[in-house]
Structures are given as structure tokens and as C-alpha cells.
Structure 1
Amino acid sequence: MSGPEPTLEPAQLGAYFALMEVAGLLRHGVEQQLRDEGDLTYVQFQLLARLGLDSPTGSRRMTDLADGLVYSRSGLTYQAGLLEQAGLVERGPSPDDERGVTVTITDAGRARLARVLPGHVHVLRDLLFQPLASTDVDTLAALLAPVRDHMRASPPRSAAPRRRKRNG
């Protein structure tokens, strides 16, 4: 005989539905803006932003990008290939791992990022931050950080750091 089925309290269920709806609506608005202003997918924008805004060298290893973006390595390879064909990134061998691939943003990639970033900020301000007081934004960030950290402690395979084989 099994125990009672697990349930969520009404407040938990409401929070879950609200979070998923907000995430879906925000993602839709962001994706529309990126398509319209930069002919970019959300993943392509994330890749360019990680390289152009979050990396001092403008380069990162593909596996590190996939881990950070919570995206499959094969899917990210495909998206990086499309960006490379468009001249927005370059791929090459990783200097510290002969099997690894490094992606580097190009000047054209930086220009595309600069073109879409103002509209991206506008969408975020309009859809996400406009109805919140600044203290609410601080609270939201404080609430989401431990949830993110908890999820990252046992991430899906696409977001788990790849184990490196030891030589010897």
C-alpha cells in the first residue's frame, strides 16, 4: 500500500503557475524583439551576450557556454554554427584542451549585440520591471537566487559541467 499522493498547497500551486506564465510571456516578448531587431534566436542572443558582455576576452569554451545556458551541447553547436556562418562568431580549438572548441565573438557579433541590446533592455523594463518597485526587484532577485542555486546543485545533463578525463 502506498502513502497519500503528494500535493502542493494552493499558494505553492499559484506561485508555480504565476512563475511559469511570467517566464513564458517574458520569453515570448524577448524572442519577438530579438527576431525583429537582430534576426537572432534567444539562444543565439544568449551566446553573443555571454561572449560580448560577460567574458573579458570575448571567448569561451563551448562546453562552458552550454553549461551556463542550460542548453544541449549539440544544440549549442548548431546555433554557434549559424552564428559563425553569419560572421558573428568564430570557432577554433581550445588552447587548454585539444578536444575542446572555443567560440569568440567577432566585431560583427559585437555590432549585432549592440544593435539589439537597447530593445532587449526596453522589453525587460516594460514587461518585467515596470510593475515592480525597486525593493520588489531586490526581493525577486533574493528569492530566485537560492532556487537557482538549488537547481544548479543537481542540474539537467545539459547544464551539468562535463567531467574532464585525467591523463595518466
Structure 2
Amino acid sequence: MSDSPPSLNPVQLGAYFDLIEVTSLLRHAVEQQLRETGDLSYVQFQLLARLGDSPTGSHRMTDLADGVVYSRSGLTYQVSLLEKEGLVVRAPSPDDERGVTVTLTGAGRALLAKVLPGHVEVVRSLLFAPLASEDVETLAGLLAPVRDHMRSAPPRSAAPRRRKGGA
């Protein structure tokens, strides 16, 4: 019986490292474009984009945290920064007295419209340009079940909060 730790085979290890490198390079380029065009961080853009995709322009804070996989406290800080810039407003949730809803403002929509073309161009040129259209379909088909598998457990932001005092 072997006591060696579990390992990845060479193909798995290569795929893992390739994914990490591609993700890091793409994120760096996206972050640079967002800073230069709109003075936004990556997570701030994600928040504005999620709100912009919503038919109402609004989401509950908890749903935003889960969607962008960000801590509740980190999200509160980021939303506060966006609110100070007049890009979003916060209000009590109409269907949950303990919840808070974030809504995109006109200024937030305008900034999103300003940064989006450059964002799309960075993603298109770096991620999709080197691939044939069939490869893009294959990539999407491969990533979706992995994402779904990872999302099958609730994100940390959705986990029940531990009470102080051991309760």
C-alpha cells in the first residue's frame, strides 16, 4: 500500500497550468483596459455588468456576491466605492427587510457603455481570435460542466454565517 499523495497525470497537470496561465494573462489585460478606459477594477466591472444585464438593473447584495464569487464584506466595500462615484445606489430590499438591493444608475450605465467595447475587444482578440469557431464551441462545452460542478456547492458568500460564541 502506497502512502504517496494523490497526483495529477501529465496531461491533467499541463491543462491545469495552461488554464491558470491563460486566466492570469487574460485577467491582466482586461484589468489594464478597465483601468485605462473607466478607472474600474475587475470586480467593479463585474458588478456593473451584472447589474446592466439584469432587466431591472438591480440585484440583492448577496446574489451579487455569489455571482462574482466575492466575500460579503469585500462586496460591501466595492459597492460603497461605486456608490460614492454615483454609479450605483443601495436601498432596502422590497421583498426582504434584512436585505439590500443595489441598482445601476444612469451614470453607471454610461460608464459600462464606455468600457464595454474595449472589454469585448480584449476578450475577443486574446481568447477567441486564435481559435476556430468550432473550438470556441468546444471550449464553451467543456467549461460549462466544470463551472456547474464547482457551483454545485454554495459559494462561501452564501454559506450561513457562524455566530460568535459557538452557537
Describe the SS at the equivalent of 1:135: helix
Residue of structure 1 equivalent to 2:140 = 141
Instruction: Supply the AA of the counterpart residue of 1:102.
Output: T
Q: Is the 8 A contact 1:47 1:65 kept in 2?
A: yes
Alignment deviations for residues 33-83 of structure 1 (CA, whole Å, 9 cap, x no partner):
00000000001000000011x200001100000011100011011000000
What is the CA-CA distance between 1:4 and the residue it aligns to? 2.8
Give CA-to-partner distance per residue, 1:125-146, whole Å, 9 cap, x none. 1110010011111000000001
Counterparts in 2 of 1:162 and 1:68: CA distance versus 1, 3 Å: farther
Query: Match for 1:131: what amino acid?
Result: P
Matched, 1:13 2:13: yes
Task: Give the secondary structure class of the aligned counterpart of 1:91.
Answer: strand
- Given that 1:90 and 1:106 are in contact with CA atoms closer than 8 Å, whether structure 2 keeps it comes out as yes
Which stretches of structure 1, 4 residues or longer, exceed 3 Å deviation after superposition?
160-163
Aligned pairs (5 A) from 1:81-92: 81-92=80-91
Question: Contact conserved, 1:34 with 1:45, CA < 8 A, in 2?
Answer: yes
Is 1:28 paired with 2:44?
no
The CA deviation at 1:155 is: 4.2
Q: Which secondary structure does the structure 2 equivalent of 1:149 belong to?
A: helix
Q: Which moved more, 1:147-156 or 1:67-76?
A: 147-156
Q: Match for 2:49: what amino acid? A: A
Aligned partner letter, 2:142: L
TM-score using structure 2 length: 0.92
Question: Which ranges of structure 1 fall in alignment gaps of 5 or more residues?
Answer: 164-168
> TM-score, normalised on structure 1?
0.92
2:32 is aligned with what amino acid? Q
Aligned mates of 1:157, 1:80 — CA distance in 2:
18
Percent of matched pairs sharing the same residue:
77
- Number of aligned residue pairs: give it: 161
Measure, in 1, the Cα distance between the counterparts of 2:46 and 2:6. Answer: 36
Question: Which AA in structure 2 matches 1:108?
Answer: A
Q: Which residue of 2 aligns with 1:114?
A: 113
Q: List aligned pairs for 1:1-168, cutoff 5 A.
A: 3-52=3-52, 54-158=53-157, 160=158
Task: Return the letter of the residue paired with 1:136.
Answer: D
- 1:103 Cα offset (Å): 0.3
Residue 29 of structure 1: SS of its match in structure 2? helix
